[in-house]
Structure 1
Amino acid sequence: MKAWLGRLSLRYKLTLAALAVEAVMLSFLIANGVQLTTQSLQQQAEQRVREVGETLEAALLAPLTQQDDASVRDIIETLQHDGGLEMIEVRDSSNRVVHRTGSGAAATDFRRVQPIELAGQRYGEVVLVLSGDFIQQARIRYVQQSLIIAAAALLLTGILLALSTGAVVRRFVALTRASRRMAQGDLDVKLTGEGEDEIGQLIGTFNRMAEAVRFNVERAHENEARFHAIADYTHDLEFWLSPEGKLLWVNPSVERMLGYSVGECMGQMNFPADIIHPEDRTATEFQLRHALRGTSGQGYALRVCRKDGGHFWAALNWQPIHDYSGVYQGIRASIHSIDDLKATESNLRQAINELRTAESLQSKYLAETEQERARLVSLLSAMNLGILFVAADGRVIYHNPTFSRMWMIEEETDLIGLPVHEVLAKSASTLARPDHFSKHLLEVLKTRELSDSYEIQMADGRVITELDYPVRDREGRFIGHLWIYEDVTRERQTADQLVYLAERDALTGLYNRHRFQQELARTMLETDRHQTQCAVMFFDLDEFKTINDSSGHRAGDALLIRVAGEIGTLVRRNEVLARLGGDEFAILLPAVQDNEAEALAERVVRAVAQIPFRFEGQNLRLTTSLGIAYYPGHAADADDLVARADIAMYQAKDAGKNTWRVYRADTVADSEMRSRLSWGERISNALDKALFQLHFQGVYRAEDGTLSHLEALIRMTDERNPDQLIMPAHFIPLAEKSGRILDIDRWVIREVLRMLSDNPDIPSIAINISGRSLSEPSLPQFIGDAIREGCVTPSRLIVEITETAAVSDLHDAQHMIEALRQLGCGVCLDDFGVGFASFAYLKHLHVDTIKIDGIFIRDLANDHDNQVFVQAMVSVALGLGKSVVAEYVEDGQTLALLRRFGVDLVQGYHLDRPIPDHPALQGKD
């Protein structure tokens, strides 16, 4: 029966339940009606019998009194016939039956004995019996009619319930199906039919619940993803244990630290008991049992065993985990290797023992301490730095003579014990900004931490820096300040000079290429704003390479200086004359009108041709070729404008040199110049046809002149003239612009490593990589692979990076240098000193060697300023533990100076020239 009911739908269950209730209620109602009807009929019957009895009492009193039996009989028969009585029996006073009619009484009949009395005198009695069949018949009729009505009511109720519950059940069915879809994982469930009734509210509640479940599931997935992103990739070994000590989760670090896979730990091991060293297992298991009670702990030291049989010291940390309801779920624990800490502790214990031994000798050194103090005072007195010790209360306890001289305080003035502000008030120096210094002084006296360098501007132009160091005793208690003052006026002047050099050509004093490009960009903007035109002139010295090679670099440098001086007199103040490199010069003419550029070009060509130049008894005649390009007439941007001026210069050379030309785009010469300047194609051909070759120049130890290593220098064979070599200055800048420099760098690396691999006896070789390669992340991997393939000792390869490229992208340079050092290669910072912030950047670039730029080495014997710069660079580099290379050493006097300055390595024409078959390549040192 229960199974049958369980298979019925809710609709039928509700209908049957309602019908059953209604049937029970109707049954009670019919039963109650039958009972009430029976009681009413019984009361009516009793009332009838009573009334008949009273009537007979009155009617039979006279006949009984007269003993008139016949009258009694007539009265009784008449009454029985009209009244429907079942039986009437009359007795006289002697209890004699006077007359009786009808049969005996049944159980359901109503019987009444009515005495017949008058004035207290009893004359007899009459017994009446009324039949009860009419009550039974009335009851049957009532039950039949009630059952018919009840059946009709039940039928109508069933129909109404079936109709009314259909819609309700359908909505419940929709809820059931939606719930089943959610249980199956479909969270995108939303029901229609929300309303004000209870089911509509239930549907609305279900939709909100589904949205909340979907949101919580998504958030749970996100949290799970975050958890795995954090927990799976932590450096430490992480795991979770249930309150019973069962392993629930372990992160993948277990394989790296122990050698076990996650699956081995989860399914085949008693983790973590199996990984604990046997000697530590009992104590650790006790600790874990205590931890599983919900306690937290950290730093518990134990030994952990690896799969390979080894072990290491580790620290175990754990904490209890509770759910949102606060129910304890187990513990999360981590294992962190403390092998290094144990080693440090061992070293520390040894150091403590040594310290205790040293303390026993303290009394012996007390006397020596006093002597040391005297020496320290002498040292501080001899320093060029101003030293001022100030006690915690702000009073002076020591100052050296340099402090008094720096602040122009008379030496006999006693400063000990004076407050600081009174000491500085005795100074004869005038502060440029006294209010700012007073505020700074108050702030420094309040602080007890190391402060940044503070610059003090003096009215006389001097710049003094102040450094504040807190002084503490052996227990770390603050006892005062140490102020160090340094007069950096000379250094600031030198820095200004370096800034000047950063945008000036070191040889001629003209603007360099970088500053020229800045001026060109600015001028082009002004030209666009005022709707005018500007012009760029490019010119170089004809056959300058022949003069330079035959007479030497000194003659070439002197010639360039003379040309710069002569042309400088022809250029107006608003025009820019720059040396772009080598013998290339450029002139920028803003707001040019009419034929001003052509007129100036004529004067320049004529002036160069008229320069009388005599060097070491030899007369040298100069000529120049000059090209002119206009903006915006010939080009739309700076690069095109410079290229057009360069083409025009070559057009002038093709016209016979010693002349000038305005750029012509429709001539045959222009086509030839474009072909000549298509360096991208020429570089590609050189790479494809093996037209590149390496020349090698020796780098020698300054002390004894022995060979340290070789530097590889690239050259290109001219495809049109195979006997002619093209120097890197002609194609490297263009290769950097086109991106082919990366291929050139890799060709040099492969070629040098091949030579090192083929001949293990040749010395180390230095190569130059471009600034573009610094930002190439795959280059260290390329070098490492090539080193391993050639079985080359990494230290035999030295990589030179120019300072300009390194400073322009310090982040990439640091990564490249660190990667090369990890490979084991040597790293050299080339062209050091060309940037005015060289010293500042040097501490960020962890190179092994610095190579001082040649502009400081040329004519070193005759240039006092360059001697100062070189000495400073050598001092800083050696102080930082780096070796120093000086290039462009072209005479013995320069070499002697470099030896005196402490330079480690030297390189230049005085020692040897770059050649392809250097003797050292045959294994000779």
Structure 2
Amino acid sequence: MMISLRYKAAILIALTEIALLGLLLLTNLYQTRRDLEEELTVLAASTAELVAASATEPLLSYDLAQLQNLLNGVVNKHRVRYVAVTDRRGRLLAEAGDQDGPEATVRAERSIAVAGGVFGQIRLEVSRAATEAALAETTRSNSMIAALEILLVALISLTLGWLLTRNLLTLAKGAERLGRGDLGTRVQVASRDEAGMLAACFNDMAAQIERTVSELAQSQRRFRDLAENTSDWLWEVDLEGRCTYSSKKVEALLGYTPEQLIGTRVFDLMVPLDAKRLEMLFRLVRQERKPFYGLEYRAPRKQGGTAILEANGVPIVDETGRHVGYRGVTRDVTRRKEDESRMVYLAEHDPLTGLLSRQKFLEVLDDEIKLSARSGLPVTVLFIDLDDFKLINDTHGHVAGDALLRVIAEIMLRQVGPGNYLARLGGDEFGVLLRGEGSENGETLSRQLLSALEAAPLSIGDADVRVSAGIGVCSHPQCGDSAETLLAHADAAMSHAKSLGHNRHHVYQPSDRDLDGMRQTVNWQVLIHEALENDWISLDFQPIVCVSHETGKRYFEALARLQDRAGETIPAARFIDTAEYTGQVVEIDKRVFAQVLKILAEPQYGDCVIAMNLSGRSLGTPGFCEYFQEQARASGVRPERLLFEVTETAAVTEMAKAESFIATMKKEGYRFSLDDFGVGFSSFSYLKHLPVDQIKIDGSFIRHLDSNREDQIFVRAMVQVARELGLETVAEFVETQAALELLCDMGVDFVQGDHVARPGPTLTTPTVELGRRGPAAAKLGRAAGRGGGRSP
């Protein structure tokens, strides 16, 4: 039962008044009683004194009758209830009154003395009845006054309480209506006191609540309209990844209703491989309360098929600041990924014939050469040029020529067979890559191709067409160690074959190399000279990402580029062999070093470390070490922000000078990496002689890591040896997610490759999803890199 505030106030005041009046009454009664007692005591004493004086004469004359008359006259006067006279020996001579009455008395005694002698004693008792009656009367009168006062105070309190609480009651009723959802509630209080101020504040608060609720409702409608009409899926999850909210767009994306997803772990909607990766990543960002952007994963559709989705999310915190989950948006990027795949396909394939493009052919050839260096199996290249095909184009037109090229490509493709590669190198030129086969097999295939082309019943319209070709054959390792060199030698062999007549083939011989090599070297030497003269040496930068620990720095590999007169950018792989041969590589290293120092000196790159490659020629050049040190000191760049990569070949060629150079530079604080590690037969032995800080595992071990068990064994062994020696490990040519995850599991420290981030002209860090891959990736949102200067 609720008691009104006014009654509570009246009761409290009344109780307070009762307590105070009771205390006052008790105090008054106590004081009155004491005063009456004193008065009665004085009365008893004075009466005894008077009786003693009056009894002297009868006592001396021993007139007991007179004495008795005296005492009888005293009784009932002056409130005396009993009086007695005794002689000096205490014998009772006379008495009057009732000694054993019920009422209380006050006693007094006096001696009867004459001339210093005591002849008797007076004993007297005075009744208290009158005193008690007076005290009772006082109590009754005071109580009546107190009761009247309490009643008056109660009435005043109730009146005052009503005056004070009537406005509060109005406010209470208004608050009750507001709480029930009547947002238009306002209270009317006309007083200008505090109650009026409170009412005004209440009305302001009610108006603000009405506006806030209206805005919130509008915001909710806006969010609902946005959520239901956007093409993206909006969601919220708790810290365990369980869905707590889902927009209806998930039904269009995956086929599930929002109700079906509530309480479901979002990782259960992904393909297993992606679910494992993203769950690990989710735990990492959850610990740091960080947002995530651009996370891609594959999710099976309920109705069949697989969607590729991209998710962005930000942390959710409650009103206490506690992290309770994530909210974000997921969009369908399946079409974009398919378009990207098509673009990659178009970039890697010839649009006319569907064969590999020249650039892709060179990349595959480069990979096979590196694999061959490790496995010992040969690699053979065929360079095919159709005879007089320009005459066919001029006679029948380019449309007919293109149609004929497609038919020729199909004929050659059937002869090449599975496991090998056929590419259109340009115009009427084709290339064949035979894996694990020598020049003898290349000759055999050349004869088969020439025979197939010669026997093919080709025609354009009604006209029969005879097609022949010249084929050059070149094998690794006899003819070269790079894709460009091998293809150039095959081209030279093809030219020799055509010089012998139509439908001929020729295997590249050392005697051919002199002429071809000289021609190629002179051309590149002139181009490099022009680039150095006109300052056409530029740099691209490729991040290398740390997957083992948080470094607090960003690392990049500086990649040298050369521009020709037409403005085409040429990667280092195409000109570096000539630069090494001619000695121009020393000047290139200086130009690269100067550009690296200039970039590192800029304030916005204060957290960057850049690595560059050093050639064997530079290591063996007198004064090169001192030049580097002077340039670095002049720039103000700290040594620990530079890392130099030295290839095994360069280090072995100039082993003593390399050891001296590395030792001198390490004293200054510079760091070194042994590049292309694992390609040579004595890779591990070099670690005993070269005081490097890091090894960079050659890309030939990485490119097919996810499908080649031998590569996995070799990489795991290299990582273990490096760890035991206290060296960092870097894996290059990381081009797939599967390879990235394997490397993380193996404990590799850094990864580099197009899957992580492609090279670019600026120091650009990869996005979070590229940086946070794999179970060992503790802090991957930061670009990291150590690497060398010229490999693309």
What TM bracket, shorter-length normalisation?
0.3 to 0.5
TM-score by length of structure 2 reads: 0.42
Query: Bigger relative contact order, structure 1 or 2, given CA contacts below 8 A and separation 6+?
Result: 2
TM-score by length of structure 1 reads: 0.36
